[in-house]
Structure 1
Amino acid sequence: MSMSMGDMPMGSMSMGDGVPGLFYLQKMYWAVVGSAIATATVVNILNKVLAQHRLRDTSLAPAKPKSCFFGVYATLTAIAREVSYATISPISVGKYTIHFPPLGPVLIILANLVVVLVLCFYKLDTANVWKWEDVGYRTGFIAICQLPLIFLLAGRQNIIGFLADMSYARLNWFHRWIARTLWLTTTIHMGFWFRNWGRYDYITYQLKNDPLTKRGFAAWCILTFIVLTSVAPIRRLSYEVFVLQHLVTFVGFIAAVWMHAPNEVKIWVWIPIGLLVFDRVARYAWGAYSNLTMFHRKASKSALWTHSATFTALPGNVTRVTVKNPGIHWQPGQHVFLTCHSVVPLQSHPFTIASIPEDNNMEFLIRAETGGTRRFFRYASKDKVLGAETVPNERSRTIFVEGPYGSIRNLRQFDSVVLIAGGMGATFAMPLLRDLVAAWKKDSPCENQRRIGQVRRWAATNRARFVWVIKSRSQLSLFEEQLQSVLADVEECRRIQPRFNKEIDITIYVTCDEKLEPPTTQQITPLISHGVANRQMIESSEQKEAIETDHVSARSVSGVSFTSSHIAAIGQGCLSGGGCCCTKQIEDEDAIPTCTCTCSGPAPTPLELESMTGKTTYTQTSASLDSKANFVSGRPYPRAIIRKVLEKAEGESAVVVCGPRGLADDVRRSVVCLSDERAVHKGTGAQGIYLHIENFGW
Structure 2
Amino acid sequence: MSMSMGMPMGAMSMGAGVPSLFYLQKMYWAVVGSAIGAATLANVLNHAVAQHRLHDSSLTPAKPKSLFFSTYATVTATTREVSYATLHPLTIRRHTIHFPPLGPVLIILANLIVVLVLCFYKLETTDPWKWEDVGYRTGFIAISQLPLIFLLAGRQNIIGFLAGTSYARLNWFHRWIARTLWLTATIHMGFWFRNWGRYDYITYQLRNDALTQRGFAAWCILTFIVLASLAPIRRLSYEVFVLQHLVTFVGFIVAVWLHVPSEVKVWVWIPIGLLVFDRAARYAWGAYANLSIFHSTSTPRHSLWTHSASFTPLPGNVTRVTIDKPGVSWQPGQHVFLTCHSIVPLQSHPFTIASLPEDNKIEFFVRAENGGTRRFFRYASKNDRVLGAGETTPTACNQIVFIEGPYGTMRPLRQFDSVVLLAGGMGATFSIPLLRDIVSAWKMDSTDNIQQRSRRTGRLAATKRLRFVWVIKSRSQLSLFETQLQSALADVDECRRTRPDFDKEIDVSIYITCDEKLDPDTTVSPAQQPLSEGLTAPEPSYSDKKMVTEKEKVSIRSVSTESGSASSTPAATGKCSVPGGGCCCTTQIEDEDEVTTCACTCAGAAPIQQRNVAPATREEESKEITSNPAVIHLTAISRRPHPRTIIRNVLEKAEGESAVVVCGPRGLADDVRRSVVSLSDERAVHKGTGAQGIYLHVENFGW
TM-score bucket (shorter structure): 0.7 to 0.9
User: Could you report, residue by residue, the CA deviation over 1:202-245 in whole angstroms, capped at 9, with x for unpaired residues?
Assistant: 11111111111111111101101111111000101111111111
Which residue of the partner structure matches residue 629 of structure 1? 634
Q: Is the 8 A contact 1:467 1:507 kept in 2?
A: yes
Q: Distance in 2 between matches of 1:254 and 1:11?
A: 21
Match of 1:473 among 472, 475, 498: 475
1:513 to partner: Cα distance: 1.9
1:644 partner SS: helix
Alignment of 1:151-230 (within 5 A): 151-230=150-229
Q: Distance in 2 between matches of 1:374 and 1:103?
A: 36
Q: Is the 8 A contact 1:312 1:392 kept in 2?
A: yes
Which residue of the partner structure matches residue 77 of structure 1? 76
1:593 to partner: Cα distance: 2.4
1:18 to partner: Cα distance: 0.3
Q: Does 1:53 align with 2:52?
A: yes
- Aligned-pair identity (%): 75
Which residue of the partner structure matches residue 364 of structure 1? 364
1:453 to partner: Cα distance: 8.2
Which residue of the partner structure matches residue 407 of structure 1? 409
Is the deviation greater in 5-14 or in 282-291?
5-14
Alignment of 1:32-51 (within 5 A): 32-51=31-50
What amino acid is the match of 2:589?
I
Q: Does 1:312 align with 2:317?
A: no
Q: Distance in 2 between matches of 1:622 and 1:371?
A: 46
Q: Distance in 2 between matches of 1:99 and 1:26?
A: 35
Q: Distance in 2 between matches of 1:326 and 1:485?
A: 22
Q: Does 1:590 align with 2:589?
A: no
What amino acid is the match of 2:18?
V
1:488 to partner: Cα distance: 0.3
Q: Does 1:510 align with 2:505?
A: no
Q: Is the 8 A contact 2:587 2:640 kept in 1?
A: yes
Q: Is the 8 A contact 2:299 2:307 kept in 1?
A: no
Q: Distance in 1 between matches of 2:419 and 2:658?
A: 6
Q: Is the 8 A contact 1:574 1:598 kept in 2?
A: no
Q: Distance in 1 between matches of 2:657 and 2:436?
A: 20
Change (3 A) 1:619 1:397: farther
Which residue of the partner structure matches residue 87 of structure 2? 88
Which residue of the partner structure matches residue 553 of structure 1? none
Q: Distance in 2 between matches of 1:54 and 1:450?
A: 19
Q: Is the 8 A contact 2:446 2:499 kept in 1?
A: no
What amino acid is the match of 1:481?
T
Q: Is the 8 A contact 1:133 1:193 kept in 2?
A: yes
What amino acid is the match of 2:322?
T
What amino acid is the match of 2:163?
A
Structure 2 alignment gaps of length 5 or more? 523-574, 613-631
Q: Is the 8 A contact 1:582 1:599 kept in 2?
A: no
What amino acid is the match of 1:475?
Q
Q: Is the 8 A contact 2:423 2:664 kept in 1?
A: yes
Structure having the higher helix fraction is 1
Q: Distance in 1 between matches of 2:521 and 2:450?
A: 60
Q: Distance in 2 between matches of 1:360 and 1:452?
A: 28
1:335 to partner: Cα distance: 0.3
Structure 1 alignment gaps of length 5 or more? 521-571, 604-615
Q: Does 1:639 align with 2:644?
A: yes
What amino acid is the match of 1:74?
A
Q: Is the 8 A contact 2:10 2:20 kept in 1?
A: yes
1:621 to partner: Cα distance: 13
Q: Is the 8 A contact 1:476 1:621 kept in 2?
A: no
What amino acid is the match of 2:282?
R
Q: Distance in 1 between matches of 2:256 and 2:609?
A: 62
Q: Does 1:659 align with 2:664?
A: yes
User: Could you report, residue by residue, the CA deviation over 1:68-106 in whole angstroms, capped at 9, with x for unpaired residues?
Assistant: 001000000000000000011000001110000000000
Q: Distance in 2 between matches of 1:649 and 1:354?
A: 28
Q: Is the 8 A contact 1:473 1:620 kept in 2?
A: no
Alignment of 1:489-528 (within 5 A): 489-517=491-519
User: Could you report, residue by residue, the CA deviation over 1:375-403 in whole angstroms, capped at 9, with x for unpaired residues?
Assistant: 100111114659x9787443111000000
Q: Distance in 2 between matches of 1:447 and 1:482?
A: 26
What root-mean-square deviation, in Å, do the aligned CA atoms of Structure 1 and Structure 2 show? 2.7
2:364 partner SS: strand
Q: Is the 8 A contact 1:258 1:266 kept in 2?
A: yes
1:633 to partner: Cα distance: 1.3
User: Could you report, residue by residue, the CA deviation over 1:449-489 in whole angstroms, capped at 9, with x for unpaired residues?
Assistant: 69978632000000000000111111110111111111100
1:183 to partner: Cα distance: 0.4
Q: Distance in 2 between matches of 1:505 and 1:689?
A: 19
Q: Distance in 1 between matches of 2:664 and 2:274?
A: 33
User: Could you report, residue by residue, the CA deviation over 1:580-599 in whole angstroms, capped at 9, with x for unpaired residues?
Assistant: 67221101111112456545
Which residue of the partner structure matches residue 568 of structure 1? none
Q: Distance in 1 between matches of 2:608 and 2:307?
A: 32
What amino acid is the match of 2:416?
F
Match of 2:688 among 680, 683, 692: 683
Which residue of the partner structure matches residue 233 of structure 2? 234
